[in-house]
């Protein structure tokens, strides 16, 4: 491992990419601004070859484009994630004896093992499997189950970079219910997994300073993620195919102009049952209705601390595909969940960015009224989820 890269990963990951949330306006540019930080207009991104990126999705080993994941989706209790070309996906993740085996012990900060097998019911393909289908529990406001999302996957600073294939695979193996990843669109109109544009030095040494929207998909996917020498930026189509039958995925689309292309990709891959988009109330009200296919995709609406927007969501917009509302973790929910949000058919979500968040801190968020908690402390989030579900009599927890 490159020592300089390792140090940059530890010191300059910028407190998890400066928070790495989509923010209360649905997009969080790297500099913290609320607006478009790219400086590039829609017209600067040229069309591709006319084919959807998913059209050329080919399995590994056939001599064509590699996707960084194993050819066949492995069930959660198989340690089959090693050797897939996506880095050290099997043995080197924090918190488990073998992250490639979801039955391994991923210890929480209280010393209790996280039973990742308990996070997987069934084979991942049925409508009653909440890990792989939004139709199960996620879109049911009466469901008592709480769930945990890995923010950027279950990443670490040594072998599984934020947003990487390795971090996503580790989240699946570690029993997470879903992952949050960032989406941008390249010059040739391909959605890719990338947080910042321009790319920051703590994200990639070989592509630092380059703008995603000025690069082709081939150029972006050649960029290495710090500190790995094998993990590179990925195409969205590849990641969606890997996640199919495994986990749901929260897509943080970093630029509003890219919502339409992201919706197109979700629908082209028949992924609307496990992929949802995070956005703002304003974007749901003003932009989404203009986009083809918008009525077939689910939305997480981020209101931050502005609880008045919940009235707008329920009383004015009333979009049935807005299935969940994100609220800042320090907001006093009072009886809002029981009297307004759940009766409107929506669930509640929050993101705690503290990398060292304890089981107790994460469990308190569930007990406060949040149905879904996104966290960087993945193993602890899974343990907190198990504790709460067990207390509620939800099986498996």
Please give the C-alpha separations between residue 31 and each of 142, 326, 391, in angstroms, as whole numbers: 39, 22, 41
Predicted confidence at residue 292, as pLDDT, reads 98
Q: Is 308 helix (H, G, I), strand (E, B) or coil?
A: helix
* Other Cβ atoms within 10 Å of 155 Cβ, number: 28
Predicted confidence at residue 69, as pLDDT, reads 54
Query: Is residue 278 within 8 Å of 302, Cβ to Cβ?
Result: yes
Q: What residue has token string 């993990």?
A: 231
Cα–Cα nearest to 156, from 94, 82, 215: 94
Architecture of 3-31+68-391 per CATH?
Answer: Alpha-Beta Barrel (3.20)
Predicted confidence at residue 67, as pLDDT, reads 54
Please state, in angstroms and rounded to a whole number, the distance separating the CA atoms of residues 73 and 66.
15
Query: Is residue 266 within 8 Å of 240, Cβ to Cβ?
Result: yes
pTM value?
0.76
Per residue of the chain (397 residues), give pLDDT as tens: 445 444 444 444 554 454 545 643 333 333 333 333 333 333 333 333 333 333 333 333 333 445 565 443 333 333 333 333 333 333 333 333 333 333 333 344 443 333 433 333 333 334 459 999 999 999 999 999 999 999 999 999 888 999 999 999 999 999 999 999 999 999 999 999 999 999 999 999 999 999 999 999 999 999 999 999 999 999 999 999 999 999 999 999 999 999 999 999 999 999 999 999 999 999 999 999 999 999 999 999 999 999 999 999 999 999 999 999 999 999 999 999 999 999 999 999 999 999 999 999 999 999 999 999 999 999 999 999 999 999 999 999 9
**Segment 338-342 long-range contacts (CB within 8 Å, at least 24 positions apart):** 338/369, 340/310, 340/311, 340/314, 341/141, 341/310, 342/141, 342/142
Structure tokens at 290: 């203009």
Map out the domains of the chain as residue ranges: 3-31+68-391
Q: Are strands 178-185 and 191-193 parallel, antiparallel or unpaired?
A: antiparallel
Cα–Cα nearest to 181, from 248, 136, 271, 114: 248
User: What's the full length of the chain, in residues?
Assistant: 397
Close Cβ partners of 323 (under 8 Å, ≥ 6 residues apart): 134, 138, 139, 276, 298, 299, 300, 345, 346, 347
Give a three-class secondary structure readout of 234-297. Answer: EEHHHHHHHHCCCCEEEEEECCHHHHHHHHHHHHHCCCCCCEEEEEEHHHHHHCHHHCCCHHHC
Query: Is residue 162 within 8 Å of 195, Cβ to Cβ?
Result: yes
């Amino acid at each position: 491992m490159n020592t300089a890269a390792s140090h940059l990963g530890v010191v300059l990951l910028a407190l998890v990419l400066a928070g790495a949330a989509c923010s209360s306006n649905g997009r969080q540019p790297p500099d913290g601004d609320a607006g478009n930080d790219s400086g590039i207009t829609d017209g600067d991104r040229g069309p591709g070859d006319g084919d959807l990126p998913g059209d050329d999705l080919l399995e590994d080993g056939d001599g064509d484009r590699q996707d960084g994941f194993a050819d066949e989706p492995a069930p959660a209790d198989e340690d089959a994630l090693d050797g897939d070309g996506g880095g050290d996906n099997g043995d080197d993740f924090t918190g488990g004896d073998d992250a490639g085996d979801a039955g391994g012990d991923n210890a929480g900060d209280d010393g209790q093992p996280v039973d990742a097998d308990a996070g997987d019911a069934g084979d991942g393909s049925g409508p009653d499997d909440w890990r792989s289908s939004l139709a199960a529990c996620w879109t049911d406001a009466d469901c008592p189950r709480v769930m945990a999302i890995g923010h950027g996957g279950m990443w670490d600073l040594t072998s599984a970079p934020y947003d990487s294939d390795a971090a996503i695979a580790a989240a699946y193996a570690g029993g997470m219910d879903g992952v949050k990843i960032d989406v941008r669109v390249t010059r040739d109109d391909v959605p890719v997994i990338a947080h910042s544009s321009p790319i920051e030095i703590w994200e990639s040494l070989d592509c630092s300073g380059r703008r995603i929207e000025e690069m082709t998909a081939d150029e972006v996917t050649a960029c290495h993620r710090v500190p790995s020498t094998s993990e590179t930026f990925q195409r969205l189509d590849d990641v969606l195919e890997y996640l199919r039958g495994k986990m749901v995925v929260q897509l943080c689309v970093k630029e509003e102009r890219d919502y339409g292309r992201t919706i197109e990709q979700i629908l082209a891959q028949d992924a609307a049952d496990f992929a949802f988009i995070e956005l703002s109330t304003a974007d749901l009200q003003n932009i989404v209705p203009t986009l083809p296919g918008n009525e077939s995709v689910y939305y997480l609406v981020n209101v931050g601390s502005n609880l008045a927007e919940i009235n707008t969501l329920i009383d004015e917009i009333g979009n049935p595909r807005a299935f969940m509302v994100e609220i800042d973790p320090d907001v006093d929910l009072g009886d809002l969940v029981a009297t307004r949000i759940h009766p409107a058919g929506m669930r509640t979500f929050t993101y705690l960015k503290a990398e060292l968040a304890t089981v107790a801190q994460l469990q308190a968020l569930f007990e406060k009224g949040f149905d879904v908690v996104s966290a960087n402390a993945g193993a602890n989030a899974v343990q907190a989820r198990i504790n709460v579900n067990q207390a509620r009599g939800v099986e498996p927890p």
